[in-house]
Amino acid sequence: MIDKPQINIAIDGHASTGKSTTAKELAKRLGYIYIDTGAMYRAMTLWALQNGWIGPSGFDRAALIDSLDRVHIDFVYNPHTGRSETYLNGINVEDAIRRMEVTDYVSRVAEVPEVRRKLVDLQQKMAARKGVIMDGRDIGTVVMPDAELKIFMTASPEVRARRRYLEMQSKGMDISYEDVLQNVLERDRIDSTREASPLRQAPGARVLDNSDLTPRQQLEIILGWVGEILDKQFPADSDY
CATH number for 86: 3.40.50.300
Helix (H, G, I), strand (E, B) or coil at 211: coil
pLDDT reported for residue 112: 95
Domain containing 184 equals 9-230
Per-residue pLDDT, averaged over 168-194, amounts to 90
pLDDT reported for residue 195: 79
Total tally of structural domains belonging to the chain: 1
pLDDT reported for residue 3: 63
User: Where are the alpha helices (H) located in the chain, listed in sequence order?
Assistant: 19-30, 37-50, 61-66, 100-110, 113-126, 157-170, 177-193, 215-233
Above pLDDT 90, what percent of the chain? Answer: 64
pLDDT reported for residue 210: 96
Residue 41 has pLDDT above 70, yes or no: yes
Predicted confidence band of residue 236 (pLDDT cuts 50, 70, 90):
low
Per-residue pLDDT, averaged over 133-158, amounts to 94
Average the pLDDT over each of 52-56, 90-94, 232-236 and give the range with the smallest value.
232-236
Above pLDDT 70, what percent of the chain? Answer: 96
Q: Is 82 within a domain?
A: yes
Between these two residues, 5 and 141, which has the higher pLDDT value? 141
Q: Is 236 within a domain?
A: no
**Cβ density class 108-128: b for 16+ within 10 Å, e for less:** bbbbbeebbebbbebbeeebe
pLDDT reported for residue 171: 85
8 Å CB contact between 210 and 18: yes
Residue 55 has pLDDT above 50, yes or no: yes
Residue 171 CB coordination number (10 Å): 10
Q: Is 3 within a domain?
A: no
pLDDT reported for residue 2: 46
pLDDT reported for residue 37: 86
Between these two residues, 129 and 65, which has the higher pLDDT value? 65
Q: Per-residue pLDDT tens for 61-92?
A: 999 999 999 999 988 877 787 677 899 999 99
Across the chain, mean pLDDT equals 90
pLDDT reported for residue 140: 95
8 Å CB contact between 197 and 111: no
Q: Is 239 within a domain?
A: no
**The dihedral sign for the CA sequence 84, 187, 165, 49:** positive
Could you tell me whether strands 83-88 and 91-92 are parallel, antiparallel, or unpaired per DSSP bridges?
antiparallel
Q: Is 64 within a domain?
A: yes
Residue 151 has pLDDT above 60, yes or no: yes
Q: Is 112 within a domain?
A: yes
pLDDT reported for residue 225: 97
Q: Is 89 within a domain?
A: yes
Q: Is 28 within a domain?
A: yes
Predicted confidence band of residue 48 (pLDDT cuts 50, 70, 90):
very high
